[in-house]
Amino acid sequence: MREGEGGALALSALWGFLALGSWFVVRPARDVMGTVVGEDAVRWLYIGTLAGMAVVNPLFSWLVSRTRRVSFTLVVYGFFALNLLGFRAALAAGGVEGSAALAGAFFVWSSVFNLFIVSVFWGFMADTWRSEQAKRLYGVIGLGATLGAIAGSAGAAMFARWLGVENLLLAGACGLALAGGCAAWLGSVVSRRAAPADREAARRKIGGSAWDGLRSALGKPYFLGISAYILLLTVTQTFVYFQELRIVGGAFAGDPEGKARAFATIELCTQTLTALTQAFLTARLLRWLGVGGSLALAPMVTLVGMAALAAAPSVFVLAAFQALRKTSERAVARPAREALYTVVERSEKYKAKSFIDTFVYRGGDVGGAGADGLVKAVGGGAGALVALTAPIAGVWIALSLWLGRRHAARAEATVQNS
């Protein structure tokens, strides 16, 4: 950390803590809803989520075009906090397992909610920190987010049975409200310390149209590469998610609070390992491996872990695999992926990024769910998924290295033009 960065860095990490904490205290409730509707219905819910993303993305881009960055952040966070309160009331009235329709609606909604609050957060970070700063500081910012995820997961694991699953949503709404306040504070701090030209740019509306994100994401090779990376990531993690539903659902049949505790405990182990990695290794790995090498770590771990889970499909092996897979993605690949956006136009940091982080991300979920369902329909098991994952991982690694080279070229051009 260098002189003048401390205040903005602390607020960035605190915002990440609150945003991720609000999601991870809610996430076990979402996973319980997945077991209520069943894995076959979840595949269709992924399609519903993708449709929801198709509707929400143009609205978000329209909002970004017409408001300042702090304003649209507060609107997004406030909207989702109110939604959480509404779902909490509905679940309290009808029972957590009382309605498959309500469970499905919450599953779809929460799958939209979590991606948008995180995408807005990282878009703001890319608009605040330069590429060189991102390599130094994103590990610290990510650590703050991870500690929030740990707090959320731990709180859910400890209090799910005492409070009830529906009251986890109330805690999430409170976290979102605090995160919005932190975003406003950060915007004020950054504006005061910025150069006059940067301060004026931050105050201006971003402008453009509701379709800018779609055009950038699908019309420029750099963004197409990022989109392909996200698709491969989400397809494979959806394979793992369905394995998780099967293993945990079978181990805790008829016990929704037990399932919630199991999901939260697995996440707690994952986030603890992620935090240790971010505290001691992330910045070093980004320097040693570069952006491309850091991106390539996730597909390598995924392939090895899928093979291990196919050989021994137990809760213990699942927890170990998820901890290693998610740590490689969140502590190493995620900071590298977010650094890719530090070298693009300001509007693209919000519009193209939100389209990729939400619609493309959930498109990968749909593809992964469809592939998993096809494997199941033809009688294939975990071994068939491993065979399917191997070529995906090969393409994924090659794409990671290509993105690293393109990022380096863009960063060098930015320095030369500054």
**CATH code, 6-417:** 1.20.1250.20
Q: Residue 313 has what pLDDT?
A: 81
Is the model's pLDDT at 45 over the cut of 80?
Answer: yes
Euclidean distance between CA atoms 354 and 73, whole angstroms: 12
Is the model's pLDDT at 201 over the cut of 60?
Answer: no
Residues 100-117: what's their mean pLDDT?
Answer: 89
- 8-state DSSP, 375: H
Q: Residue 372 has what pLDDT?
A: 83
Q: Residue 416 has what pLDDT?
A: 67
Residues 35-51: what's their mean pLDDT?
Answer: 82
Euclidean distance between CA atoms 418 and 416, whole angstroms: 6
More confident residue, 44 or 296: 296
pLDDT level of residue 1 (50, 70, 90 thresholds): low
> What's the pLDDT tens digit per position in 234-274?
999 988 888 888 888 877 777 777 777 788 788 778 878 98
- 8-state DSSP, 204: S
Residues 203-226: what's their mean pLDDT?
Answer: 80
Structure tokens that stand for 45 in this block: 């819910």
Residues 383-404: what's their mean pLDDT?
Answer: 92
Q: 283: closest CA among 148, 124, 134?
A: 134
CA 416 to chain centre: 33
Residues 72-82: what's their mean pLDDT?
Answer: 94
Helix (H, G, I), strand (E, B) or coil at 326: helix
Helix (H, G, I), strand (E, B) or coil at 41: helix
Domain boundaries, the chain: 6-417
Helix (H, G, I), strand (E, B) or coil at 313: coil
More confident residue, 315 or 410: 410
Q: Residue 117 has what pLDDT?
A: 93
Most confident of 189-203, 289-303, 367-381: 289-303
Q: Residue 175 has what pLDDT?
A: 95
Q: Is 339 exposed, middle or buried (0-12, 13-18, 19+ CB in 10 A)?
A: buried
The Cβ-side half-sphere exposure at 353, using a 13 Å CA radius, reads: 27
Helix (H, G, I), strand (E, B) or coil at 68: coil
Is the model's pLDDT at 206 over the cut of 80?
Answer: no
The overall average pLDDT reported for the chain is: 87
Q: What is the 3-state secondary structure (H, E, C) of 208-245?
A: CCCCHHHHHHHHCHHHHHHHHHHHHHHHHHHHHHHHHH
Residues 389-408: what's their mean pLDDT?
Answer: 95
Is the model's pLDDT at 111 over the cut of 90?
Answer: no
More confident residue, 71 or 4: 71
Is the model's pLDDT at 197 over the cut of 60?
Answer: no
Task: Specify the DSSP element, H or E, that contains 314.
Answer: none
pLDDT level of residue 208 (50, 70, 90 thresholds): low
- For residues 381 and 240, is the Cβ–Cβ distance under 8 A? no
